[in-house]
């Protein structure tokens, strides 16, 4: 597929030819859901914790004698039915991470890129030079028709563009990512995807059906 290439002033400066199997592939909505669920599961801290009976502070002495008081028998005030007692099936620290086939992650990423391209919400820039100032980056996005803060924009460029990364940190609703960190969740969270030519070619090479293993997931 061919896409127009723009500069940061919003003017067309050429075209780029991108692989159909990456940017015009079939959109598998169920895989988008599966990969987003997997990404969010990996991010969960899993630090929720409750105290068992052995961890509750207090005495383990029998509350009162077994018989003769007229009250129900009790073994310990640490029991779960007592106020301040231990929990039986409460949460303990755990990992929510699980494995997902790499092929599914790649297909889902192709689907997310193709979805944005099909919606005409994929913008390719010749390059995105920055002086590290957030104001200049916001002006460039406005020139591209995706003004802040009304639009959520995901900017993707090479990871050595440190000035762009620094300037994009303070954008209210947008985010910068290195090309090798591109992922399904961030693409779907942002309405518009802005790629530089170099980043687009890197993603294309990583996700092409003929490509080998790569860091892009």
pLDDT in tens, 86-102: 999 999 999 999 999 99
What is the pLDDT of the chain when averaged over all its residues? 92
Distance CA 44, CA 181 (A): 19
pLDDT score recorded for residue 32: 97
Q: Which of 49, 50, 53, 51 is nearest to 78 (CA)?
A: 53
Query: Percent of the chain having pLDDT more than 70?
Result: 97
| Residue pLDDT tens, the chain, 217 long | 899 999 999 999 999 999 999 999 999 999 999 999 999 999 999 999 999 999 999 888 899 999 999 999 999 999 999 999 999 999 999 999 999 999 999 999 999 999 999 999 999 999 999 898 999 999 999 999 998 788 899 999 998 899 999 999 999 889 999 999 999 999 999 999 999 999 999 999 999 887 654 445 5
What domains appear along the chain, each with residue ranges and CATH number?
Answer: 2-44+99-207 (3.40.1370.10), 48-95 (no CATH)
Sign of CA dihedral 64, 67, 71, 76: positive
Distance CA 115, CA 19 (A): 14
pTM: 0.84
What's the chain's length in residues?
217
Task: Report the DSSP pairing between strands 2-6 and 12-17.
Answer: antiparallel
Sign of CA dihedral 132, 189, 110, 181: positive
Task: Name 84's Cβ contacts closer than 8 Å, sequence gap at least 6.
Answer: 56, 58, 77
């Amino acid at each position: 597929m061919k896409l127009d290439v723009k500069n940061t002033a919003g003017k067309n400066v050429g075209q780029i030819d991108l692989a159909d199997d990456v940017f015009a592939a079939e959109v598998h909505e169920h895989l988008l859901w599966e990969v987003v669920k997997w990404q969010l599961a990996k991010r969960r801290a899993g630090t929720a914790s409750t105290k068992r009976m052995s961890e509750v502070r207090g005495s383990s002495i029998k509350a009162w004698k077994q018989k003769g008081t007229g009250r129900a028998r009790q073994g310990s005030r640490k029991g779960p039915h007592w106020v301040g007692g231990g929990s039986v099936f409460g949460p303990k620290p755990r990992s929510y991470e699980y494995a997902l086939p790499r092929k599914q992650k790649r297909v889902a990423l192709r689907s997310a890129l193709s979805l944005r391209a099909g919606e005409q919400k994929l913008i390719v820039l010749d390059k995105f030079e920055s002086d590290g100032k957030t104001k200049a980056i916001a002006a460039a996005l406005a020139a591209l028709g995706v003004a802040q803060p009304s639009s959520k924009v995901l900017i993707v460029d090479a990871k050595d563009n440190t000035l762009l990364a620094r300037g994009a940190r303070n954008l209210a609703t947008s985010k910068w990512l290195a090309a090798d960190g591109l992922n399904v969740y961030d693409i779907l969270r942002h309405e518009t995807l802005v790629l530089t030519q170099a980043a687009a070619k890197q993603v294309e090479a990583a996700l092409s059906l003929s490509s080998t293993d790569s860091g892009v997931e």
